[in-house]
Amino acid sequence: MRTLVAVTYLFIPLPMPRFQYLIHLEASSYHHCDIGSGVLNNPTETSFKIGLIGKGIQLSRTPFMHETEARRLGLTFKYDLIDTDLMGETPPPISQILNMLEEQGYTGANITFPFKQTAMEFIDEFSDAAIGVGSVNTVLFRDGKRFGHNTDVSGFEQSYRENMMDQLKKSVLLIGAGGAGVSVAHALLKCGVGKLFVADTNHAMADKLVSRLNSQFGGTANVISVEAFPEISNSLDGVVNATPIGMAKLPGSPFPEKLIQQKMWIVDIVYFPLETELLNTARAIGCHTLSGAEMAVFQALHAFELFTGISADAAAMKSSFAVFENR
């Protein structure tokens, strides 16, 4: 059962609890919803309240992008950060946070680290993308039900298609098999990558991702150790970093500089900073590169459209992202 529990020590006082069923199934048989399920279809709705649930999210650009686009469209849009780092030594579980937001009339929420997978237990229906990767980054509250979506997949896919589709992609290395890596891996194979090598210091996680990919796309993915990078570097067309390495708080590069070749394209989904050590090195060598800004913008754009039912402008949201970066 999905039990709605009042949590009075969060930032909003709650009404009396109510109770509803959640049919909790294994990932292979989650309740499916069409991509539009839960999306607002009332064109007269102009006021929205959204939250971003995560840990250590005070520097997120997402609220600024959403609220700026909403103002451009003449909408009333309030976007709150639900940061568990600010909820004391023992923050409430994701189940209670979702309960609180639903009780308080939120339209929906974006969900980020470390809740993308654990949140699925407390959601009723899922899009194909969410089922495919086994995680959600967007949840909609509609008519007493919760609809889970994953716009990380579509966000990376659109950024890749708009910037890298003219590049060779017979053999690609993905570094990172965590939440972001799972979404990126699915998007890469949807974009036509021939052979995908997956590396992660957590070998069990890499094995699990490759098994999932091969069950959905055929035998196109292989696990590789970090130590084996030199063995495949000459055959690689591209390298994608889906780890936190390169972030301001975790500097460095996940791929050795000496192995980067001019013929490669390099993608780094890190966007704080935009200019990571990996991208700096690759650009200096002459590689075609792509930062994490595009994925960040497109995943936000797709989530905005799910929340509002209104088309967002990619150029305007890219401009908002850049303004936030430079302010």
- Residue 76, classed as helix, strand or coil, is strand
Q: What is the mean pLDDT of residues 132-150?
A: 96
Domains 2-149+305-326 and 154-291 fall in the same CATH topology: yes
Q: What is the mean pLDDT of residues 188-212?
A: 97
How many helical (H) and strand (E) elements, i.e. helices and strands, does the chain have? 10, 14
Alpha-carbon distances of 25 from 28, 45, 105, 122, 227, rounded to whole Å: 8, 33, 27, 11, 38
pLDDT at 140 over 80: yes
pLDDT at 29 over 70: no
Residue 42's pLDDT is: 55
- Please tell me the distance from the alpha carbon of residue 71 to that of residue 268, in angstroms, as a whole number: 30
- Please tell me the distance from the alpha carbon of residue 273 to that of residue 291, in angstroms, as a whole number: 9
Q: What is the mean pLDDT of residues 143-170?
A: 97
Instruction: Return the structure tokens found at 46.
Output: 């102009």
- Please tell me the distance from the alpha carbon of residue 38 to that of residue 98, in angstroms, as a whole number: 16
Looking at domain 154-291, which of 1.20.210.10, 3.40.50.150, 2.30.38.10, 3.40.50.720 is its CATH number?
A: 3.40.50.720
Q: Give percent of the chain above pLDDT 90.
A: 81
Note the CATH number of domain 2-149+305-326.
3.40.50.10860
Residue 105's pLDDT is: 97
Residue 39's pLDDT is: 59
164-180 confidence digits (pLDDT tens): 999 999 999 999 999 89
Residue 25's pLDDT is: 27
Q: What is the mean pLDDT of residues 247-267?
A: 96
Residue ranges per domain, the chain?
2-149+305-326, 154-291
- Residue 72 has, within 13 A of its CA and on its CB side, a CA count of 17
- Average pLDDT along the chain: 88
Residue 96's pLDDT is: 98
- Residue 265, classed as helix, strand or coil, is strand
pLDDT at 215 over 70: yes
**Active-site residue flag, 78:** no
Residue 4's pLDDT is: 34
Residue 113's pLDDT is: 87
The count of other CB atoms within 10 Å of the CB of residue 280 is 16
38-62 confidence digits (pLDDT tens): 655 555 689 999 999 999 999 899 9
Q: Which of 50-54, 61-65, 272-276 has the lowest mean pLDDT?
A: 272-276
- Please tell me the distance from the alpha carbon of residue 137 to that of residue 178, in angstroms, as a whole number: 14
- Please tell me the distance from the alpha carbon of residue 98 to that of residue 120, in angstroms, as a whole number: 11
pLDDT at 20 over 80: no
Residue 28's pLDDT is: 37
DSSP class per residue in 87-98: S-SSPPPHHHHH
Residue 272's pLDDT is: 85
Which of the residues 116, 145, 169, 190 is marked catalytic? 116
Residue 34's pLDDT is: 55
**Which residues, other chains included, contact 62 with Cβ-Cβ below 8 Å and sequence gap of 6+?**
52, 79, 110, 296, 300
Give the full edge-to-edge strand order of the sheet including 195-199.
221-223, 195-199, 171-175, 238-241, 265-268, 288-290
- Residue 170, classed as helix, strand or coil, is coil
Residue 249's pLDDT is: 85
- Please tell me the distance from the alpha carbon of residue 141 to that of residue 184, in angstroms, as a whole number: 26
- Residue 277, classed as helix, strand or coil, is helix
Q: What is the mean pLDDT of residues 262-285?
A: 96
Q: What is the mean pLDDT of residues 13-30?
A: 30
pLDDT at 21 over 80: no
Q: Which pLDDT band, with edges at 50, 70 and 90, does 248 fall under?
A: confident
- The residue that leads in pLDDT, 83 or 41, is 83
